[in-house]
A and B are shown apart, each in its own frame.
Chain A
């Protein structure tokens, strides 16, 4: 299978005093660069994602798993180039032969929604409260001008039928009624489905789902699961699933990447990961699941502004050695699995 999206050495950092620098930058370019690097060290820069390399194949479902604050959402936004201006993104994100990070905003805008779509975790907030569902679903069609050279009326009816189709696909039997609804009139689950319909209406090549199951109760999560399964069956879309819900991920993903403190610690096929986790963190994570008896990992995740030296997991690791505390392990690949641990083969 072809590689659809390849991320290499992605580094994302946030800096405290960006805007002020920016203004001054213009006047004294060269000098500033020096100053900036200096400042970076002084004012605690947060490196949310460091040296992240990952690739997604066509039609594949890749899950990015990790705890709150490990930087997984940052990856999603970095791919879409939706990060706030004060973030600094380095590395390459290659998509269809183009480096997304090198594109101009206008070119990027053309890709967004058409080639790459995203589903945010809070669907009720992601939909504009003052426009009707139909209007918002049809918007990608309008933006990306699918039907060029046709009459306005025709365009409209065509858009309407497309929207109706999309709504049907996510399980609304009478789409025309729902098209006149507003997000605030509908439940979170319905909005979730509207959002999926809006994001997939142009059949993107890559769909990013950012914590889609967060805050949903059990029934809704299984509904959502069916949604995604259906989507995978019906379309060619590859899915980047970002979640902290391991059960959810296990049922959907083809491959899973586990993140800890801004780094990937393990990548593996879903089945092999869940059956034989290698990295101590992955093991701990799986052990704290209900079905394994809520065995907790001791300690807390480190703050990203000052990650511990050596292996970032070592303070909480129960099998750590001396070198874990000093050296930073590399991601080692073998048999289609990759682990960032000295102790794993």
Chain B
């Protein structure tokens, strides 16, 4: 019994920490909780309301994100020049070069457009790694419980405590600055919170009637995890994935600033670090150092907003039926 309670407490604390992150737009004020059943019975008003608000809230994020995604996928459409083509260096914005040129005469706008792909790739690739690890650890830990859970979660807690950025910096310095090692390092060091959320959600779902009856009916553990638990984790996973992407992008930019990035891959972070190290900042060339910074912020924000939105949505996933109609 005590064991159970410990789980519950842990998961509530963890949950609230993580869900606290959520920015939910005015979900139905929850004194409706009591007649939630009543409302659900009739029509899922709260969901529709919520959906609408969510959409409104996310529309901006989704729009921005799509924009950046298109930039990343089809830079040719937007970049006026090749990012390696050289013109006069240090030129101010003009009609020929909307954002001017940098220290070796590359068109900054083109560089910016091509940078989207690399920045977002770092974010998504490392988020994929961390999400995958987090999912596996959380799922197994939550589903099988017992000693495995103790060990895995103990390990997770230990990793959680280690300060990340210094470790990433040390590792970044140790491994040679290549974009792949960066992705690997970022991915390998940010799965713990995902694992914890997945675990607590798994614990919760595991006790749901449909999982219990599935076990009762003789479905295999793999089938249950894949077919009953995973789809319902998706809603916790997606926001986590998005937030992991966002934080990986920030970390990449920060490491680039410290000179630990991969210079041959011109991400926004690298652009920024060049803008600072090659006089863009001091020459007051705001058209050089502001755009990559703003792009990082906006892109991270769009991803985070979508993540927050999904996180809110997750709350209501019990009633997902309606929005699927």
Contact = CB atoms under 8 A, between A and B. Distances in A.
**A contacts B directly (C-beta below 8 A):** yes
Contact of A16 (B26, B32, B38, B49): B49
A74 interface: yes
Interface string A87-102: 0000000000000000
B48 interface: yes
Interface string B30-44: 011011011101110
A69 B28 CA distance: 18
A128 interface: no
Contact of B41 (A43, A82, A210, A303): A303
A47 to B, nearest CB: 10
Contacts of B26: 19
B95 interface: no
A82 B31 contact: yes
B319 interface: no
A68 B38 contact: yes
Contacts, number: 63
Given A305-B42, A305-B43, A73 B34 contact: yes
Contact of B38 (A15, A44, A48, A121): A48
B294 interface: no
B29 A46 contact: no
Interface string A8-19: 000000111111
Given A85-B29, A86-B28, A74 B42 contact: no
A82 B29 CA distance: 11
A175 interface: no
B52 interface: yes
B53 interface: yes
A187 to B, nearest CB: 14
A303 B42 contact: yes
A84 interface: yes
Interface in B130-177: none
Interface residues of A, number: 30
B45 interface: yes
Given A20-B52, A84-B29, A73 B35 contact: yes
A46 B52 CA distance: 18
A108 B316 CA distance: 32
Nearest to B51: A16
Interface in A39-55: 43-44, 46, 48
Contacts of A68: 37-38, 41
Nearest to A46: B42
Interface string B69-90: 0000000000000000000000
B24 to A, nearest CB: 13
A260 interface: no
Contact of B43 (A18, A44, A77): A44
Contacts of B45: 14-16, 44, 46
Contacts of A44: 43, 45
Contacts of A305: 42-43
Interface in B1-53: 26, 28-29, 31-32, 34-35, 37-39, 41-43, 45, 48-49, 52-53
15 contacts: A16-B52, A17-B52, A18-B49, A19-B26, A20-B52, A43-B48, A44-B43, A46-B43, A69-B35, A74-B38, A77-B31, A84-B31, A84-B32, A303-B41, A305-B42
Interface of B: 26, 28-29, 31-32, 34-35, 37-39, 41-43, 45, 48-49, 52-53, 56
Interface of A: 14-20, 43-44, 46, 48, 68-69, 71, 73-74, 77, 82-86, 120-122, 210, 301, 303-305
Shortest beta-carbon contacts, A-B, top 5: A69-B38, A69-B41, A305-B43, A304-B42, A303-B42
